[in-house]
Structure 1
Amino acid sequence: MERFKKPLVISCGILRKEIEHLQRKGDIDVEAYFLSEKLHMDYNLLDRGLNCALKKHQKKSHRGIVVVYGDLCLGFNDEMKTLISKYDAVKVDALNCIDCLLGGKGNLLNLDPDHKILFLNPAFIEFGEKIREETKEWTRETYSMLDGIVLLDALGDLDDYQSKIDEIVERTGLPIIDRMDATFILPKHLSSQSQSERFWPDKSSRINTLNFKNYCQAN
């Protein structure tokens, strides 16, 4: 059986371009395995996909596995924590994929405590089939509770997506209120673990997601 000499990252495909960019730059030295971003549309499918990936790869990396998903990607009742605890793996400290691009540790809630912002990175821009498939009336009604859009730029290539960004703006009726340089959590996570020969799970630091959970249940 082939074994990886580097830490293995298992990540949502939403963050594929950012991770591969960091690999090319030499900012991170990892093997990477990506699950389809479309699994986000069904908790059960994502649960099965992550379980299969972890079972398949857990014996291949003697440096351990780093999971790049959010605490809430499987639901609001510690489903992700329960899944990760079954394996010799550690997960980055982030609420969801967008929080991963904001430095993690709940920074998403600091920037958007009232959940009024639509954050878009290149993958989310391309992943917006629902925005393009539904009628403009349905789309504007669906997004009417939001204040605007914040673009997250981790690759310096957002200008390449301008036509799709313009389409999202036009169909949602939301203005662009900011464009931010993304601060991806993964390099910092790997750096903090670099003194360890193995990426052992850290079960002591869990983010308090109560406010986010209560908001989502109320809406």
Structure 2
Amino acid sequence: MTAPPAPLLLGCGILHKEIRFLIMKNGWPIETHFLDSALHIDFDQLSHALTTALNRHAEREIIVFYGACHPLMETILDEAGTFRTDGQNCVEMLLGPERFSAELEQGAFFLLEDWARRWEQVVTATFGTNRQVIREMYRGDRNYLLCLSTPCSADFRSKAEAAGQMVGLPLRWLDVSLDHLETVLQQAINRKLRAKPCPK
């Protein structure tokens, strides 16, 4: 009898390097399918891409790596018969809720390597090309860009500095371990494996 395929982790690619590292480190029996992290800036594109991917892999046991990144996220997942990782968003999954909330309250806008490297594309798609408008939008309620560097990050300092100049915010840097992300993923994998039916 052919063994069933491994569970599939399907979701945002913003932490794809970190997730693949943790899968290899732990020997988790899962495969991955990452979607473009820039989908967050357009709810219609996000729901279409996610729903299409869920339908394409409907025969698989799926774990979704997303936070509450779409107002209908839970409905989309319920219709697909699956669930997502626990957390408001990928940054909370990386930092943990306490540190995430503390930095958010101080006015942080979180910047990961993936977005830093395509910052102009992401920002102009959302706010247009008028630099003054962009600065006003970010400086209205944010005080600094918090650049999150993980053990898997390459050097994206120059890209982060360009992002800060574009939005008119100073940079702060934080070295982040993968401990909390690892816990979030392990819990989701355990939940999926517990719910997986026995082969007939």
Do 1:21 and 1:155's aligned partners in 2 also have CA atoms closer than 8 Å?
no
Do 1:92 and 1:185's aligned partners in 2 also have CA atoms closer than 8 Å?
no
Do 2:67 and 2:90's aligned partners in 1 also have CA atoms closer than 8 Å?
yes
Residue aligning to 1:126: 117
State the superposition RMSD in angstroms. 3.0
What runs of 5+ residues in structure 2 fail to find an aligned partner? none
Partner amino acid, structure 2, of 1:148: Y
Pairwise CA distance, 1:51: 1.2
Aligned length: 190
What runs of 5+ residues in structure 1 fail to find an aligned partner? 202-219
- Describe the shift of the 1:89–1:24 C-alpha distance in structure 2 as closer, same or farther (beyond 3 A): same
- Describe the shift of the 1:108–1:196 C-alpha distance in structure 2 as closer, same or farther (beyond 3 A): closer
Q: Deviations for 1:46-72, whole angstroms, at most 9, x for unmatched residues?
A: 112111111221313xxx21101111x
Residue 157 of structure 1, aligned match among 128, 134, 153: 153
Residue aligning to 2:65: 68
Q: Partners of 2:118 and 2:144 in 1: how far apart?
A: 18
Do 2:120 and 2:163's aligned partners in 1 also have CA atoms closer than 8 Å?
no
Identity of aligned residues (%): 26
Q: Partners of 1:129 and 1:195 in 2: how far apart?
A: 38
TM-score by length of 2: 0.78
Q: Deviations for 1:178-198, whole angstroms, at most 9, x for unmatched residues?
A: 413054655323433566673
Q: Partners of 2:95 and 2:49 in 1: how far apart?
A: 25
- Quick check: which one's helix share is greater? 2
TM-score by length of 1: 0.72
Residue aligning to 2:165: 170
3-state SS, counterpart of residue 15 of structure 2: helix
Q: Partners of 2:145 and 2:177 in 1: how far apart?
A: 14
Do 2:85 and 2:188's aligned partners in 1 also have CA atoms closer than 8 Å?
no
